[in-house]
Structure 1
Amino acid sequence: MTPSNSPAAGAVPTAIPGRFDLGTIGTGLAFAASLGELAEVLRAGGPAGTAVVQAPPGTGKTTLVPPLLANLASTPGLASIPGALRVVVTQPRRVAARAAARRLAALDGTQVGDRVGYTVRGERKAGPGTLVEFVTPGILLRRLLDDPGLETTGAVILDEVHERGLETDLLLGMLREVRQLRGDLSLVAMSATLDAPRFAALIGGAAPHATARGAADDGGGPAPVVDCPSALYPLEVQWAPAAVPRLDGRGVARGFLDHVADTAAGAHAAGVSRDPGTDALVFVPGAWEVSYVAARLRGRAASGTEVLELHGQVSPAEQDRAVSGRRQGGPARIIVSTDLAESSLTVPGVRLVIDSGLTREPRRDANRGMSGLVTVSCSRASAEQRAGRAARQGPGRVVRCYDQKSYGAAPAHVTPEINVADLTGAALTLACWGSPGGQGLALPDAPPPAAMAEAIEVLRELGAVAADGHPTGLGRTLARVPADPRLARALLDGAVAVGHHAAAEVVALVAGDQRAPGADLTRVLSTLRGGREPAARRWAEDVRRLETIARKESAAVGPSVVTAPVTSAESPGVVVALAFPDRVARRVPGDGPARYLLSSGTRAGLPAGSPLSGHEWLAVAEVSRAAGRDAAGTGALIRSAAPLTADLAQAAARHLLSDAVEAKFSQGRVTARREQRLGAISLSSTPVRPSPAEGRTAVARALSEEGLGTIGWSTAADALRRRLALLHRELGAPWPDVSERALLAALDTWLGPELEKMA
């Protein structure tokens, strides 16, 4: 492509003072050849100001598209964005947002925070002169709720839409509505996979899935799609399945992680012997697995090899170091990463990829009232994107630590988060947007009705939405807290009960991806307070931010439901119980492994040897499906919890308290007990004399469930009933209907006197 300074059709504005020099920025990037086409379609093609960019990772779309839109905003004759308004670009992860901003600023020859900046949770480097700002989807969602018109924004670029993150899906629908009010707002979606037509139909105004749900169609047709060919070099694929299963009852098997580490060490040593410039990228599913594999690699990799960790819990400085290229003359590197490095950023110098084939995805178990992250096989599309990281800058190699059969059995694409995740936070966002339950909003996939109904019910219990689904004042306050609505409410309630700082500590911990050894949340909290964990700095930043919010907003919830004094040791359990009252748990009596009954009715085990097993009451922050010894035959495992006292459990979950007489009919008589419960947990059970009404109810229930035979008909009574049935069938009235259905409907009439005696 030949750079041009003229605004002729199809030309790319570049090398003009005050604008981005796309000729220099695009040097060596495959997407530079597609810039002219994108500029043209944004100016005149299809629905003006919309486009879908489909390009594989590493082609340069994240680097080149934002400055192109910024240039179009200020080029006479080409402007599709009137005025010098900011271009906002979403990245699904904080490290990707920072890395993208840093790279574009470096290519532009400016400092981060000047013409190019970023805003992520707890960190902002942007100013009045910023033309391109990279943000996470959550940041943009909260901006939309505060400023639905995005008056200071001229264009929005949604990157990595193929990942189907819940927040990005919500943004697609909400921004489509903003464009119906602001035709001058440009909207570009960028995808690394072949699902571009789906997004083109959605943002361009011809979303078939949306119109079926009643959303308006602006009739503009699908947005234009701009493709870019893959820039991959030759890629060698090897299969190295482990002799042990990838998963066991506790999650990822340690034996498998040992295999991944040993495979990476051997493959990297062989690669470096052929090409000293070879760096390796190892994919494992979570932060704990990253730390485990990295620790083993440090003892097995070739001497002098630098082993780096890349996941959401390491410090920003460590993240930046991992995604930066090898220093001039520096040692060979092995970067162990979660799927953070799969598609949203490029790690320079990688010629070798070691893939565990596993990822962590959200899952919701409606039957047990559980939700959280589970480890599953990654999709084939994800596996291809991971492999492609090795062939961006030259011939590469991928070693898959699983067999071809497992690859073939994996899903073709990632599961959309909206279909499997807990939707409480999304439901609150939609309510505040004016689309309760997503009604009338064009989304890539409709939220599952049962999951959405459950989420709205949780919001009603929190006091966040009214009966009609629209937000209350408290709901709008909770929406401003960067945490799940239940944790947001616990932050504000807990600030009154245990203090602002203590509440912020626990909410920051539970909201993060911290693994609790032995499920003991208090142990992790103690370690973080001591600053010994790599995640301690990030956690401390989150605590400071949440504490500021708590001091500002806690008055919105009024007096706390916990009125008794709370010690510092009890604080974590109280805050967790305030967030998840349905997960307050009591130990089930008996020998053997520790089993707990949650107030929701779910039974779950504790990991063997957990220091929590001696506590009668727990506040459970995370519980998930599991098998094996730790689940203690319950089918579920407590992954994170804090101890609690009986009194504090009942105070935090007091809306679940019940006190009722439960009568039973058995063997011809009625008995009753007074049952005091906390949800499904029995607190006390005392024998009492049933009232006549309770007796009648018990008999009616027993007869309905077990049939009239429960009464024990005498021979004479049974014969009489048969004769009456014959007369009713043959002659009709006045002979009565004595069928089971008819007799059950008239119990008080024919069984009333006996019911009084039974009581």
Structure 2
Amino acid sequence: MNTLPIMQVMPELKTILAASSSAVLIAEPGAGKTTMTPLALLDEPWMKGRTMLMLEPRRLAARAAAVYMASCLGEQAGQTVGYRMRMDSKTGPETRIIVVTEGVLTRMLQDDPSLGDTGLVIFDEFHERSLNADLGLALSLETQAVLREDLKLLVMSATLNGEKVSALLGGAPVVRCPGRVFPVETVYAPPAAATPLEKAAGTAVRRALAEQPGDILLFLPGEREIRRVESELRSGTLPGNVALRPLYGRLPQAEQDSAVAPAVEGRRKVVLATSIAETSLTIEGVRTVIDSGLRRTQRFSPRTGMPRLETLPISKASAEQRRGRAGRTAPGVCYRLWSREAHDRLPESDAPEILEADLAGLALELALWGARDPARLAWLDAPPPAPYAQATALLRRLGALDAAGAVTPHGRRMAALGAHPRAAHMLLRAAGLGAAPLACRLAALLQERDPLRGPASGGCDLTLRVEALLRYEASAGRDTGGGDPAALRAAARASHALEAQLRSAAPLSAADGAADTSLCGLLLSFAYPDRIGQRRGAGAFLLSGGRGAAMGENQHLAREPYIVAVSVDDKGTQSRIMLAAAVEEKDLLEHHADLMTELAEVYWDDDSKSVKARRKAMLGELTLKESGHERPSPEEAARVLMGVVSGEGLSQLPWDKGTLQLRERLAFMHRIDPAWPDVSDDGLTGSMEEWLLPFLHGCRSLREVQRLPLREALESMLDWERKRRLDQDAPTHIAVPSGSRIAVDYSNPAAPVLAVKLQEMFGQRETPRIGNGRVPVLLHLLSPARRPVQVTADLASFWSNAYFEVKKDLKGRYPKHYWPEDPLQAIPTRRTRPVK
């Protein structure tokens, strides 16, 4: 014990903690910090007989550390050294060192914010940056600042930015300790492209067994991969003295202990582990590490408000931690199943969980603490605003928070259960319906491995899993129904533990049972009110939170009107439903009345081309019931019609010839003076509220819109002065020398046209002008057959130059007509010849 490297820095650490409230200990792997530091500090004067809490991020490591420290004292766990974790505890009246998992510290702080009998809180392996570790440190810092100046905090890690943590702790001193790690050779062994992971891992294990002595630790991303690699290795050839030992968090304790324990003499062990074996744990006999370079983590999507499991490359820091497992007791080798180039591209460290996780549990704990705003506390990384806002919105929907963000009595009961807020709410609501045992089984199945997989799984229906679990329990474990016995055993164990917790928090009736599985969907709807799905056809559902999700059309749940989608893969534009249960509409209406809203909606009915009204009972984005009611008010109908015209275009309006000419004249005036109304499509559409809406009052259909006085509507945009100027500057007609009044064509506002017979313009020297004399009209001079013979905006030039050529041509074609030599002295006429 005294030979471990950590003992070399212990005098310095003791001196610092005697004089300071906080310290940071950076100790390399193999230094002995996890097990030796608590024992060395236990009898310091400032402890004064108080207890010490040490947080471990993983249950297996917490239990192993407590057992080892107890053995160093010649005791059993539960005497001087004990541990506490959810559903497992070994402490006694003499216990002074308690190794806890992180959620336990949060509960202890919530129950007693002063931690009155605690002298030191140690945060071990803080570099893992779990959500609960960040929360525990934030709450402990506030306790230290407000209630307990004498409470000491020690943050320990092998790989951590000590200066950043020191700053968070108010400039706490940093102690550094070298480790005791034997040299480890690194071998990069990337498999061929497209090689399945189980094949690559199997090949690497066989290579290591042939090339290296001792036991092997293989890191894989998750339980599913462990099972596949185990199957791959068992189906091939392995030496007869090799035992395969899975190691993951949900594995029964006895099997975990078997994986960690030394191999029997003369035999070799291959441990197939998740990241659970990355830190705080020495697996005896391991001389070789094989690293897949992958990890599985749950990441929260602010886009959908849903978490999703992702398999990601590990960071360089994690790769070094895993590599170090091969050198804990002797020189070793690490085979990395990726290339050196790929290693250079890995991120330096993993993102803190608080930046990627579902924050509903964190938000509930902060509300219970009295911190509605997370900024009130000190964080190494503060909770991101968007996911935190979504978490508080969910808690309000579950009834855990009131409108002001304060925790409700129901929220306190939820927090006391220690389950995720969704599951806690479901358990409490189920207790009131006499269905607590069924809810416990549902919650257990959701937190454990799926017991039904493959073609015989029955698809995504969670009710089938509950029925399989009930058969398994009724048969005392004999009837697995083709399910995974280990998964069913784990779910049964978790279910009974949840039921015991619930009984301590809520009165349950002896009649409560789990047999009525028809209630599965209703109970799940309490936990997932934002994921109640309404069928849209072809396996697609609209979720009450507004998101779309789908399952295969061949699944029997695809035909259900309503489901609850409890597990959704958030990939692509439409999420894939992986687990769900059917729920009855009548149950939603009866039991979710507090979440229902009634919407009186005035809408456009495309079939009748008219405005109608209805009332809708809404559950989130879902319409559960719909009924008609009284006719919409004139104001409501007018606004809907205005929206229809805006969306479908101005062609829906009754544009007669005179109204079109008015619009064209207004467009001309806007062109020469932008202060005039803009009557382009965009201009009119953007100003409908001013000129069109008042005239739609009383209309309810497009047929009635076709009878609108549209000309009046356009003229309503003009005051009296502008109406006068419009008639003056953009006249509808212009009088020509013959006495005719010719209509002006404003279809091109840049060049209004006056189409007039050439003979009617005799005697007119200059081109007529409009726009207060600023704009000459474009003259289309016509033949007697009303065909253009000349287009000009300069009449004087035409008479001087082009007229004589035009005259020759026209005189030949129309000899009976009047073609004078001097058009400026001639008599204008609309006839063949002028009247004398």
Q: TM-score range by the shorter chain?
A: 0.7 to 0.9
Q: Does 1:166 align with 2:99?
A: no
Cα distance in 1, alignment partners of residues 656 and 42 from structure 2: 91
Cα distance in 2, alignment partners of residues 749 and 344 from structure 1: 75
SS of equivalent residue, structure 1 residue 720: helix
Cα distance in 1, alignment partners of residues 356 and 656 from structure 2: 56
Whether contact under 8 Å (2:27, 2:176) holds in the other structure is: yes
| Residue correspondence of structure 1 range 373-522 to structure 2 within 5 A | 373-497=309-433, 499-514=435-450, 517=453, 518-522=459-463
Q: Does 1:229 align with 2:178?
A: yes
Q: Does 1:43 align with 2:8?
A: no
Cα distance in 1, alignment partners of residues 545 and 326 from structure 2: 47
Q: Which moved more, 1:149-158 or 1:189-198?
A: 189-198
Q: Does 1:320 align with 2:257?
A: yes
Deviations 1:683-702 (A, max 9, x none): 57789996244422322334
Cα offset, 1:369, TM superposition: 3.1
CA change 1:409–1:392 in 2 (3 A) is same
Q: Does 1:187 align with 2:129?
A: no
Cα distance in 1, alignment partners of residues 653 and 266 from structure 2: 87
Cα offset, 1:519, TM superposition: 3.3
Cα offset, 1:549, TM superposition: 3.6
CA change 1:525–1:721 in 2 (3 A) is same
Whether contact under 8 Å (1:672, 1:688) holds in the other structure is: no
Q: Does 1:539 align with 2:514?
A: no
Deviations 1:237-263 (A, max 9, x none): 2223333548xxxxxxxx322322332
SS of equivalent residue, structure 2 residue 217: strand
The residue number in structure 2 matching 1:22 is none
**Of residues 163, 167, 172 in structure 2, which corresponds to 1:201?**
167
Whether contact under 8 Å (1:233, 1:391) holds in the other structure is: yes
**Of residues 716, 721, 741 in structure 1, which corresponds to 2:658?**
716
Cα distance in 1, alignment partners of residues 605 and 490 from structure 2: 59
The residue number in structure 2 matching 1:625 is 570
The residue number in structure 2 matching 1:285 is 221
CA change 1:342–1:746 in 2 (3 A) is farther
- Structure ranking higher on relative contact order (CA contacts 8 Å, 6+ apart): 1
AA in 1 matched with 2:522? V
Cα distance in 2, alignment partners of residues 709 and 449 from structure 1: 46
Cα distance in 2, alignment partners of residues 304 and 745 from structure 1: 89
Whether contact under 8 Å (1:287, 1:338) holds in the other structure is: yes
Q: Does 1:577 align with 2:525?
A: yes
CA change 1:702–1:476 in 2 (3 A) is same
Cα distance in 2, alignment partners of residues 241 and 455 from structure 1: 41
Whether contact under 8 Å (1:315, 1:535) holds in the other structure is: no
Alignment root-mean-square deviation, CA: 3.2
Q: What TM-score, normalized by structure 2, do the two folds share?
A: 0.75
CA change 1:723–1:91 in 2 (3 A) is same
CA change 1:456–1:352 in 2 (3 A) is same
Q: Does 1:62 align with 2:34?
A: yes
AA in 2 matched with 1:647? K
The residue number in structure 1 matching 2:783 is none
The residue number in structure 2 matching 1:139 is 104
Whether contact under 8 Å (1:158, 1:168) holds in the other structure is: yes
AA in 2 matched with 1:623? V
Cα distance in 1, alignment partners of residues 8 and 654 from structure 2: 88
Q: Which moved more, 1:286-295 or 1:88-97?
A: 286-295
CA change 1:285–1:523 in 2 (3 A) is farther
Cα offset, 1:595, TM superposition: 3.5
Whether contact under 8 Å (2:182, 2:329) holds in the other structure is: yes
SS of equivalent residue, structure 1 residue 175: helix
| Residue correspondence of structure 1 range 207-226 to structure 2 within 5 A | 222-226=171-175
**Of residues 203, 206, 227 in structure 2, which corresponds to 1:262?**
203
Whether contact under 8 Å (1:497, 1:566) holds in the other structure is: no
SS of equivalent residue, structure 1 residue 570: helix
Deviations 1:429-464 (A, max 9, x none): 111112113131001111111111111111111221
Whether contact under 8 Å (2:26, 2:177) holds in the other structure is: yes
Q: Does 1:642 align with 2:581?
A: yes
The residue number in structure 2 matching 1:701 is 643
Cα distance in 1, alignment partners of residues 556 and 209 from structure 2: 40
CA change 1:576–1:666 in 2 (3 A) is closer
Deviations 1:119-166 (A, max 9, x none): 010111001111111001100101111100001111100111111111
Deviations 1:188-241 (A, max 9, x none): 0112213111111112x2xxxxxxxxxxxxxxxx11111112322222222233
Q: Does 1:663 align with 2:608?
A: no
Cα distance in 2, alignment partners of residues 269 and 458 from structure 1: 54
Cα distance in 2, alignment partners of residues 335 and 50 from structure 1: 38
Identity within the alignment, %: 36
CA change 1:312–1:758 in 2 (3 A) is farther
Cα distance in 2, alignment partners of residues 516 and 56 from structure 1: 43
Deviations 1:567-593 (A, max 9, x none): 722233222221002212244423xxx
Cα distance in 1, alignment partners of residues 339 and 612 from structure 2: 60
CA change 1:522–1:669 in 2 (3 A) is closer
Deviations 1:49-70 (A, max 9, x none): 3111112333211011111221
SS of equivalent residue, structure 1 residue 479: helix
The residue number in structure 1 matching 2:280 is 344
Cα distance in 2, alignment partners of residues 566 and 105 from structure 1: 42
CA change 1:366–1:498 in 2 (3 A) is farther
Cα distance in 1, alignment partners of residues 342 and 460 from structure 2: 31
Whether contact under 8 Å (2:181, 2:327) holds in the other structure is: yes
| Residue correspondence of structure 1 range 745-756 to structure 2 within 5 A | 745=690, 747-754=692-699
AA in 1 matched with 2:433? A
The residue number in structure 2 matching 1:589 is 537
AA in 1 matched with 2:640? A
Whether contact under 8 Å (1:584, 1:619) holds in the other structure is: yes
Cα offset, 1:718, TM superposition: 4.0
Deviations 1:251-283 (A, max 9, x none): xxxx32232233223322432xxx2xx111111
Deviations 1:374-408 (A, max 9, x none): 22111121111111111122221112223334333
Deviations 1:605-650 (A, max 9, x none): 43697565565543221112346xxxxxx54222222333343355
**Of residues 598, 601, 604 in structure 1, which corresponds to 2:549?**
604
CA change 1:622–1:67 in 2 (3 A) is same
Cα distance in 1, alignment partners of residues 607 and 549 from structure 2: 34
Cα distance in 2, alignment partners of residues 338 and 292 from structure 1: 13
Cα distance in 2, alignment partners of residues 566 and 131 from structure 1: 41
AA in 1 matched with 2:217? L
- The gaps in structure 2 that reach 5 residues or longer are 454-458, 707-836
Whether contact under 8 Å (1:315, 1:537) holds in the other structure is: no
AA in 1 matched with 2:93? P
SS of equivalent residue, structure 1 residue 241: coil
CA change 1:194–1:369 in 2 (3 A) is closer
AA in 1 matched with 2:610? V
The residue number in structure 2 matching 1:99 is 64
